[in-house]
Amino acid sequence: MKIQRLNEALASKIAAGEVIERPASAVKELVENSLDAKSESIAVELEQGGIRCIVVRDNGEGMDDDDLLVCVERHATSKITREPDLDRIATLGFRGEALASIAAVSRMRIISRPRGTEEAHEVRVVAQAVDGPFPAARAPGTTVEARELFFNLPARARFLGTPRTEFLHANRAIRRLALARPAVSWSLTHGGKSVLEAPQVGNLLDRIGQLYGAEVARAMIPVDVSREDISVSGFISRPDLKRGNRRDQLFCVNGRPVSDRGLSYVLASAYHGILRRGSYPLAVICIDLPLEQVEVNVHPRKEEIRFAEPRRVQETLNRALQGALASRYVVSPLLAPHKAQPPVERTKASISPLELRAKAGIRRTAHEAEKVRVGNERRVIGQLLRTYLLVERSDGLEIVDQHIAHERILFERLRKQSQCGEVARQQFLLPVRVELSFESAALVASSREQLERVGIILEEFGGGTFLFREYPSLLAEAQSRHGFQELAERIAALLEQGEEVRDVLFDRLLGELACGAAIKAGARMPLEEQQALVDQLMQLENPYTCPHGRRIIFTVPKEDLDRRFQRT
Ligand code: ADP
Ligand code: MG
């Protein structure tokens, strides 16, 4: 017989390793317990990133002496009792493993006093030997202390990061839960120094302000949609605020911070064409749906979930995000609350009949012009270095990159055309000839359908030579003839990257086309055309960044100018 049952102590250690991977996981579990106990205030103290010591104090429901003895046993929980409960889990915990796991790999102490009673008790657990309960003193609530994590599990201890790294993980776990519960007061100290003080607030935006700062809070767009039994609410960042990674994206499902690839994917695709690759939005999104629609018992750490109907959730999220990104918040930033001021006087040139060059699609309809005249808040002063447009506003100066602005306008129009069916095409009398390498030629030849969807008809001439026969009318005049060779090469390169997602490829194709046709830096423009460009730009859903994610508008607030000239 070679098979033996592991003894209880060893089995517990192995199980503990699953739940408690590092100090941050212990912190997360303890804090979740405090939340499940309906605490209004939670204080966490860490030493050496939590490796030496973790203390979590709450003012929740507390435990009496009997419960204190049981709570550190494996599979001991007050949160579910019967199997059907598993289908309707409303608490963060339910597996009854966390305290037992932490106790198995640390020196632990718990002091607790139930609400509405006078007595507090303490238990100590070292290497799974429980000591107590002893009488103790404490206000209602619970304190859990875990020292020397993994002291008896050297294999795991070796894989811990530096205290600094472990602190960052723990900090992040706390911030995620703090975002999930704005109504709870949070504090965190590390090595005795305060790193977070977030008193209870009435709404998520205020919590975002506490954790990320007021600037960030002001650059967030509200998300809010309910459909059938799913509700999606929260905040996502305006396109001019972004991060280099996904760390500042949080999804809470029924109050539980989760990682879910499907949800992350929907968020990422909502920003396609708005943010450049490698840039990520900030987001805090709460999704609420009937408990039985969500399976939380997927993994011991309870961060993964399964939806009964993932598509339905993703579609609702997508609709909510699209709505938010198309909202006026994106166009007129909440930034400077406008003080009522008399409209800025407009120059003669911009009021004069709008005989704008038809070239490059910069043309205003009479209707648009009227709208602009009535509510105009942006007066173009002129061109700087034939590259930037200077725009006067009542609250400062805006500097607009003429090429990127025009590119964005063309991109949006082309996208609209292609979305409602067909892109209007124009035939070249003299087709434009381009030469491609052998591999590129094969790719382009096999992607005819896709290219047709964006309005390009290419004819294969053999030997890597192609003829541009038809081209989107919107761009045909502006696209310089010698630019086609470069354009064809860039299209081939795009096709070669073989984007799995067709829509992404499609957007990038549109982006390339718009870029090729947009007014170049260094090109002179008449003032009316400059004004028309800015007016059209401001009517877009996203005037702030180009399809590649580059900045379009740079703002110099009046306060900055005043400060520089010591006018304040
Ligand atoms: P679970 O949270 O899955 O129930 P835990 O091991 O984390 O399992 O906790 C076991 C039990 O101990 C909980 O069900 C709860 O009754 C009790 N408990 C743990 N932490 C606290 C706390 N901070 N306040 C009140 N009760 C707590
Ligand atoms: Mg728990």
- pLDDT, one tens digit per residue, over 107-141 is 999 999 999 999 999 999 987 789 989 999 999 99
SS3 content of the chain, % helix, strand, coil (to 5): 40, 25, 35
33 lines ligand 1 (CB under 6 A): yes
The answer on 435 and 405 residing in a single domain is yes
- pLDDT, one tens digit per residue, over 356-388 is 333 334 444 444 444 444 445 789 999 999 999
pLDDT the model gives residue 351:
26
Of the bound ligands, which one is closest to the alpha carbon of residue 297? 1
First to last CA, the chain: 87
Residue 249 pairs in a beta bridge with 283
Of the pLDDT bands very low, low, confident and very high (cuts 50, 70, 90), residue 355 is: very low
162 Cα: distance to centroid of ligand 2 (angstroms) = 26
The answer on 73 and 117 residing in a single domain is yes
Stronger pLDDT, 295 or 56, i.e. the higher one: 56
Ligand 1 pocket test, pick from 33, 35, 128 with the greatest ligand atom count within 8 Å of Cβ, gives 33
What amino acid occupies position 296? V
The answer on 154 and 26 residing in a single domain is yes
142 Cα: distance to centroid of ligand 1 (angstroms) = 10
What amino acid occupies position 163? P
- pLDDT, one tens digit per residue, over 473-509 is 888 777 776 678 888 888 888 887 765 445 667 777 8
Separation CA 218–CA 180 (nearest Å): 19
| Count of the separate structural domains present in the chain | 3
Is 338 among the domain residues? no
The answer on 261 and 306 residing in a single domain is yes
Residue 60 has pLDDT above 70, yes or no: yes
* Residue positions counted in the chain: 568
| Across 402-419, average pLDDT | 88
CATH (domain of 402): 3.30.1540.20
Separation CA 32–CA 29 (nearest Å): 5
pLDDT the model gives residue 328:
53
Range with lowest mean pLDDT among 76-85, 307-316, 361-370:
361-370
The answer on 220 and 188 residing in a single domain is no
Is 55 among the domain residues? yes
95 lines ligand 1 (CB under 6 A): yes
| Across 334-344, average pLDDT | 32
Residue 338 has pLDDT above 80, yes or no: no
CATH (domain of 176): 3.30.565.10
Is 346 among the domain residues? no
CB 33 within 8 A of CB 68: no
37 Cα: distance to centroid of ligand 1 (angstroms) = 8
Stronger pLDDT, 561 or 18, i.e. the higher one: 561
Is 362 among the domain residues? no
Residue 341 has pLDDT above 70, yes or no: no
The residues near 56 (Cβ < 8 Å, ≥ 6 apart) are: 27, 30, 31, 33, 34, 42, 43, 44, 143, 144
- Of all residues in the chain, the percent with pLDDT exceeding 70 is 89
35 lines ligand 1 (CB under 6 A): no
pLDDT the model gives residue 548:
66
Residue 561: domain span: 372-568
* Ligand 1 atom with least separation from CA of 99: 6
The answer on 147 and 181 residing in a single domain is yes
Structure-token pair, residue 379: 């007066």
Which of helix, strand or coil describes residue 221? strand
Provide the residues around ligand 2 (an ion) whose CB is within 5 A.
33, 93, 98
Is 90 among the domain residues? yes
Of 188, 206, 208, nearest in space to 197 by CA: 188
Query: Domain boundary residue among 330, 359, 393?
Result: 330
144 Cα: distance to centroid of ligand 2 (angstroms) = 12
The answer on 490 and 513 residing in a single domain is yes
Is 357 among the domain residues? no
pLDDT the model gives residue 39:
97
pLDDT the model gives residue 359:
35
237 Cα: distance to centroid of ligand 2 (angstroms) = 32
pLDDT the model gives residue 475:
83
Query: Domain boundary residue among 173, 196, 219?
Result: 196
Residue 22 has pLDDT above 70, yes or no: yes
Residue 243 has pLDDT above 50, yes or no: yes
Stronger pLDDT, 422 or 222, i.e. the higher one: 222
The answer on 221 and 164 residing in a single domain is no
- pLDDT, one tens digit per residue, over 196-221 is 999 999 999 999 999 999 889 988 99
312 Cα: distance to centroid of ligand 2 (angstroms) = 30
Query: Domain boundary residue among 170, 196, 222?
Result: 196
pLDDT the model gives residue 80:
87
Residue 459 has pLDDT above 60, yes or no: yes
Separation CA 468–CA 466 (nearest Å): 7
Of the pLDDT bands very low, low, confident and very high (cuts 50, 70, 90), residue 440 is: confident
| Across 13-29, average pLDDT | 89
Q: Tokens 């045909």: give the residue.
A: 476
How many CA atoms, within 13 angstroms, populate the side-chain half-sphere of residue 222? Answer: 8
pLDDT the model gives residue 100:
92
Nearest CA to ligand 1 atom 17: 71
| Across 299-307, average pLDDT | 86
Of the bound ligands, which one is closest to the alpha carbon of residue 112? 1
The answer on 565 and 424 residing in a single domain is yes
Residue 331 has pLDDT above 80, yes or no: no
The answer on 403 and 283 residing in a single domain is no
CATH (domain of 252): 3.30.230.10
175 Cα: distance to centroid of ligand 2 (angstroms) = 18
pLDDT the model gives residue 58:
97
236 Cα: distance to centroid of ligand 2 (angstroms) = 30
Residue 155 has pLDDT above 50, yes or no: yes
The answer on 309 and 218 residing in a single domain is yes
pLDDT the model gives residue 327:
63
The answer on 185 and 87 residing in a single domain is yes
- pLDDT, one tens digit per residue, over 525-563 is 889 889 999 999 998 877 877 766 778 988 888 888 998
Of the pLDDT bands very low, low, confident and very high (cuts 50, 70, 90), residue 44 is: very high
pLDDT the model gives residue 49:
96
323 lines ligand 1 (CB under 6 A): no
Nearest CA to ligand 1 atom 2: 93
Residue 333 has pLDDT above 50, yes or no: no
Nearest CA to ligand 1 atom 8: 96
Of the pLDDT bands very low, low, confident and very high (cuts 50, 70, 90), residue 461 is: confident
Q: Return mean pLDDT, the chain.
A: 84
